[in-house]
Structure formats: structure tokens, C-alpha cells
A and B are shown apart, each in its own frame.
Chain A
Amino acid sequence: MVQFLPKVLLLVLLAFPATIIMKGPLVAAQDATEDEEAADEDAVDDVDVNTEDEDDEAEVEDDENTDLTEEKEEEEAVGGEVNASPNADTTILFVKGDDFPANDIVKFLMGFTNKGSDNFVVESLDASFRYPQDFQFYIQNFTALQLGIVVPAGRQATFEYSFIPAEPMGGRPFGLVINLNYKDSNGNTFQDAVFNQTVTITEREDGLDGETIFMYVFLSGLGLLVVVGLHQLLESRKRRRPAAKVEMGTSSHNDVDMSWIPQETLNQINKASPKRSPRKRTQKRTAGSDE
């Protein structure tokens, strides 16, 4: 019995992780169904890529000229999505112009015309940035504007929305999709992709920003370093060329001040030996006498 115990323990230890691994695929399956419902993310989802609109190929090419003359009412390529109602017309106007500067407000007005005879209830307006080559791949989803506004028959309504493209997005093209969700009096929901094109986010060219300032500081530091290095090099070369100096002592006697010696002693010294310096004589004297 005791012999079997370690074997049983081993079996249990092996079986435990196996059960966890076994449970794995079940969890993954649940995720897949969630994805289908939300119709979100994952360009890895190959199924959706195949049903991609062909127009996106053309749109990638014109990043610069966002051709606004075409007003396409594109269908969402995900299964089960709704289209625009024929009784409603939409139009869009970017208030601040055609360019989308990064880190700056982009404001637009969306106009909605109810051409039909029934009320429409405009539910929400949302904007999102998509991957330009695959509009099913969401890059950024802006907060939807919840409206719930009733537009009676024959009337028009305007909705204002603004968003700010993030700073790092500058210089890149993105697919911008602006959707209007509304429903009619029978409860049918409609979605109109009022704007569905690739736009390029422009960068704001500040003349002076942190990067450039510190770049200049760094360059000036480097320059200074080079100058100092050269200076040091030249200095070191200049010093090595002359021969080593020999200590000669105070050999020049011209700058010695004699005024402290009393006049009669000076006369004595000068009379005795004019060439010899008094200093040397005093040195000789002290050398002889012990004091």
C-alpha cells in the first residue's frame, strides 16, 4: 500500500494540470461567441476580412484628397447589421475645416432630414478610428453621444460632436467612421455611416518643443566637450616640448630689497666687495658660526 502512495501522488500531480488544460478550450469558445456578438476588434478574425469592402483598397491610396463629393452609404460588413433608412438623409460638415490636427479639437455638425411621414428617434452618434486597411479593426472608439431626440416628419435636426485625435496619431492615416443610430416609430433600428473615409491626422509643427531644446543643449554640450578636449590636447603638447627646468635658486639679485639693512653696514658691504651680494655673505657667515 505504501509503495503505491508516491505513484498515486504522481498521478494526481500530473492529472491536475491536465484538467486545467482541458478546461482551456471551453473558455476560448466562450470568448469567440462574445466576439461574434460584439463584432469588435481582432483582425485575426479571418472570416471578417474576407467580407471586407473593396472600396477600402481605393481609399488607402487617396490619403491626401479625402474625396467628399461621394456620399456612400456603406453597409457594415458584419452579419446582422442594419442600413440607413430611405426616409432619412444625413449630411456632415466639419466646422474647422478639412484637416484633422493631432491633439486639437475636431468639431463637426451632422444634419438629419426626416423625409418620411413618421417620427424618427435619433438614438446616438458615435465616431471611431479604424485601421485604414481593415475597417473592422477598431483602433479608437470615441464616446458615443446619446441623444434620444425625436425628429418629426418633414423636419430637420442638427447634432454637434467633437473629439480630439491623440497626439501620437500625428502623421498617420486612419479610417474615420461616424455613425448615426436611429429608429423609426415601428421600432426598426437603422444605422447610417455618415462619414466613412480614410483621413490623415496632421501633426502640429511647433517650432520649439522639449525635444528640440534638449537636442540643442546636447549639441552645445558636445561642442564644448570637443573644444575643451582640443584645448587640453594642445596644452599638454605645449608643456612636453621644452626640457625639464632645473631649480636654480634665487639667482637674480636685482629684485632684493636692501632697505632694511642699516646704512653703515651697507657701506661696509659695498666697500668690501661690490659684486658679492650681502645675502650670500650673511649665508656664509651663518654657515660658519653656530647659533
Chain B
Amino acid sequence: MRVLYVFALLALLGQGTGEEGARLLASKSLLNRYAVEGRDLTLQYNIYNVGTSAALEVELSDDSFPPEDFGIVSGMLNVKWDRIAPASNVSHTVVLRPLKAGYFNFTSASVSYLAQEGGHVVVGYTSAPGQGGILAQREFDRRFSPHYVNHSSFQTIGMVIVDFSQRPLTKLPVKSLDTTSFKGFSLFVLFSAL
């Protein structure tokens, strides 16, 4: 139902432009919350046709990622569609892997299409996400990794130190109390293991 509204909206907007032909609006966005060096970075391209007729020979090409800075995990940075119908949209996803940390300016990709059959080629730019930071692996891990090694080593070392520092210092004269102290010691070991 919502999709219907979107299409109706697109149709109305298309009429509103006052010109015949296709009109494409393209957006490029990062789906990641954090861009981390060595981890996947997902990009989504959405192309909406708000015109009154289909857009033909649509070609999306993004050359803003130098190959030495970004490796492609999946998807292609150059895509073609034969036609995009009026009041409809297409989307394309690319997964990249940043190879270097630091600031990177995510700039626009370009879209070219024919607004009408036999018309001239129209070139447009997508929206740009802007400048963003690519975190180094260490920075990201410091914040988000589970720190298993840290926690377990702390636990074992701490346990050893605390348990052995609680050993009773003097030998108690009463026989029965000896067992109590041993019980207490072993209970202490148990509890500190939690």
C-alpha cells in the first residue's frame, strides 16, 4: 500500500516538472555505521525515475574509489540498466573493503541516461555522502571487540593473587577449627572463580 503511495507521488511529481521525458534522481549512501579498514563497507545506490517516461540506457559508474585504497568484495562499480520505468526505482549495492585508514571524501558517482528515445544523453551526479573517517582496525577493536583474552587473563591472574593472599597465616590450636578454615578457604576459592 505504501509502495502505491510512493508511485502515486512519483507520478504526480513527474507531471509537475512540466517537461516530458525521464528524470532520474540518484542517491549514493553508505550502509555501514562505521567504516573500518580491512572490514566490509557497503554502498547503496538508488535511482528513482520521477519523470513521465522511461529512462533508457541508464549507466551508473563510480570511479571515486582508487583501487589501491579500496578493494572490491562484491558488486560492480559500473552498472547498466536498459530502462527504468517512470515512477519506479532501482537499487544497486556494492561491497568494498577499505585498505587504508584515515579520512576519505566520498564523492558522487555519475549516472547517464537517455531522457527520451533518440534523445541526447543526460549526465547527472548522484548525491555524495561526504567526508568520513575510516577507522583503523585497532581503534575499532578497542571499542567493539569482545576482549576475551583481556577478561580471561584478568580473571585467572586475579584469582591466583587473591586466593593465595587469603591463606591463613597462623596454625590454629583447635583441631575442629582447622577444618573450618580449610572450608572457608575452599569456599573463597569457589566464590572468587565466579
A274 at interface (Cβ–Cβ under 8 A)? no
Question: Which one of B1-9, B63-71, B172-180, B184-192 contacts A?
Answer: B1-9
Q: How many CB-defined contacts (below 8 Å) exist between A and B?
A: 75
Contact present for B9 and A68 (CB under 8 Å): yes
**A151 to B17 Cα, complex, angstroms:** 19
- Binary CB contact string for chain B from 14 to 57 against chain A (1 if under 8 A, 0 otherwise): 01111100011111010000000000000000101010000000
**Which of B12, B29, B122 is in CB contact (< 8 Å) with A160?**
B29
If A93-B50, A98-B9, A109-B48 touch, does A158 touch B16 (CB 8 Å cutoff)?
no
**A93 to B23 Cα, complex, angstroms:** 11
Contact present for A97 and B6 (CB under 8 Å): yes
- Binary CB contact string for chain B from 130 to 153 against chain A (1 if under 8 A, 0 otherwise): 000000000000000000000000
Contact present for A68 and B12 (CB under 8 Å): yes
If A111-B25, A160-B27 touch, does A97 touch B5 (CB 8 Å cutoff)?
yes
A94 at interface (Cβ–Cβ under 8 A)? yes
Q: Which residue of A lies closest to B128 (CB)?
A: A149
Contact present for A111 and B125 (CB under 8 Å): no
Contact present for B9 and A156 (CB under 8 Å): no
Contact present for A158 and B29 (CB under 8 Å): no
Interface residues of B (CB under 8 A from A): 2, 5-6, 9-10, 12-13, 15-19, 23-27, 29, 46, 48, 50, 108, 122-128
Q: How large is the interface on A (under 10, 10 to 19, 20 to 34, 35 or more residues)?
A: 20 to 34
Contact residues in B for A154 (Cβ distance below 8 Å): 122-123
**A97 to B25 Cα, complex, angstroms:** 15
Minimum CB–CB distance from B8 to chain A (whole Å) comes to 8
A213 at interface (Cβ–Cβ under 8 A)? no
A277 at interface (Cβ–Cβ under 8 A)? no
If A68-B9, A70-B16, A71-B18 touch, does A91 touch B127 (CB 8 Å cutoff)?
no
A269 at interface (Cβ–Cβ under 8 A)? no
**A156 to B110 Cα, complex, angstroms:** 9
Contact present for A91 and B50 (CB under 8 Å): yes
In A44-84, which residues have CB < 8 Å from any B CB? 68-71
A159 at interface (Cβ–Cβ under 8 A)? yes
**A97 to B3 Cα, complex, angstroms:** 8
Contact residues in B for A68 (Cβ distance below 8 Å): 9, 12-13, 16
If A111-B23, A154-B123, A158-B25 touch, does A94 touch B16 (CB 8 Å cutoff)?
no
Contact residues in A for B17 (Cβ distance below 8 Å): 71, 89, 91
**Which of A92, A97, A160 is in CB contact (< 8 Å) with B13?**
A92
Contact present for B5 and A109 (CB under 8 Å): no
Contact residues in B for A70 (Cβ distance below 8 Å): 16
Contact residues in B for A98 (Cβ distance below 8 Å): 5, 9
Contact present for B125 and A157 (CB under 8 Å): yes
18 interchain pairs, CB-CB under 8 A: A68-B16, A71-B17, A89-B17, A91-B16, A91-B25, A93-B9, A93-B48, A97-B6, A109-B25, A111-B24, A111-B25, A111-B124, A149-B108, A154-B122, A156-B123, A157-B124, A157-B125, A158-B25
